[in-house]
Each structure stands twice: as structure tokens, then as C-alpha cells.
Amino acid sequence: KDKPFYILASFPEPHPPFAPPHPYSEMYGPQEIVPPALRKGELEDKPPHFMDFYQGRLYSNWFKGDRAGNSLLGVTEAQYRENVAHYYGMISLIDENIGKILKTLQDLNLTEKTLVVFLSDHGELLGDHYLVDHGPFHYDSVIHVPLIFRFPEKIASNYEISSLVSLVDVPVTLTRLLNISELPDAQGMDLTPLL
């Protein structure tokens, strides 16, 4: 608590096979999950790999089903609802553990002078557009991901921007916010003017 520190807390979840521990596996009932809104024929005018994913030619076994791969093909509604309920449970597990980290900072009186950044590398389709997985597709559910900065000493709270940013911008922004030497080959843009 009395020295400068850096902590990286990396959560690999939520990731297939979507199997959170109890009580998170029961936190969201499958009956609460709303199936994705789908438009018949929406993959027909897309690049070929969209249909390849849907038809199982580009295969993974993330969802259960007769021909499930990277799509809803062969996945029953019950299987879909259970998978998504477990996905949400994993997110709640992460939320709780991030809360423990933030509570520790508070208990040590470090909240005001500690920069916390929360980010994700990608979202998930979870059945949107008949697809599961996360790529190679550029739908909002895949690319519109959290990027949250909290630094009470230098950043106003409860402020949201809608500008397009990238994770490659994070290192440059960190060096500016913390007044430390710039990285020699950093390629991103400084986001501090937005913050």
C-alpha cells in the first residue's frame, strides 16, 4: 500500500464450454433467457465464411447440438437458453471478483490515487445472426466492448463517450495518465482528451 504497484487481473471467462461453478450456474434461469432476434435469410448476402460458420464447415464444438459448431444449427431452444444462462453466470462471477479487488483498494485507502482500467478483447454473438463465437464478424455484439477507466484523482466519474476507440490506445493513455515515460513503439492514440 505504500509503494507504487501494478496489478494485472486477467479473467479467461466467459469462455466455452460455459460451465460456471455453483451458485453462478443457477443464478439465471433458462426460462429468463430471450432467444436472439433472427431475420430469415440474413446470411445469404454476406461473405461466404458467414454461411460456412452457420453450416458447420468452419467447426468448433462450443454449443451442444447435432450439427452445432459456430451457429445455432442443430441447437435446441433449451440448449441455447442453458448456454446463455451459464454465460451470464460467468459474467456475474467476474463482476463479484472485480468487486473484491475494488473493495481491497478502498480498504487500503488507495481508491483516489489508483488508476483502474477494465476492458475486454471481444464480445460474443450468442446466437445473434444465427451465429455463435466472436469472429471473424464485425457485429456490434462482438466489437462494442467495455473500456472503463476509473481514476478519481484525474478522471470525472459517470462520464460516457461514444467515440470509436481501440485497445491499442490503452498503453499510450496509461503512460499519459500516470505521467510515466512513453513507450517507444506505441501505436495507439492518447484518450486522455476524451476522458
For residue range 51-77, what is the model confidence (pLDDT) as tens digits?
A: 888 887 765 555 444 444 567 888 889
- Report the number of secondary-structure helices (H) and strands (E) in the chain: 4, 2
Strand partners, 148: 118
Specify whether the CB–CB gap between 116 and 105 falls below 8 A: yes
Single out the residue of 16, 33, 19 nearest to residue 70, CA to CA.
16
Cα gap 68→73, rounded to integer Å: 5
pTM for the model stands at 0.86
Share of the chain above pLDDT 70, in %: 93
Query: Average pLDDT over the chain, rounded to whole?
Result: 89
Specify whether the CB–CB gap between 69 and 56 falls below 8 A: yes
Single out the residue of 72, 172, 171 nearest to residue 125, CA to CA.
72
| pLDDT of amino acid 50 | 86
Q: How many CA atoms lie within 13 A of 70 on its CB side?
A: 19
Q: What is the pLDDT of residues 85-120, one digit of tens each?
A: 999 999 999 999 999 999 999 999 999 999 999 999
Q: If you average pLDDT over residues 132-156, what whole number do you get?
A: 89
Cell of 78: 433449451
Q: What is the pLDDT of residues 148-186, one digit of tens each?
A: 999 998 998 898 998 899 999 999 999 999 999 988 988
pLDDT at position 15 over 90: no
| pLDDT of amino acid 194 | 93
Specify whether the CB–CB gap between 172 and 189 falls below 8 A: yes
Cα gap 54→76, rounded to integer Å: 15
Single out the residue of 76, 93, 89 nearest to residue 26, CA to CA.
89
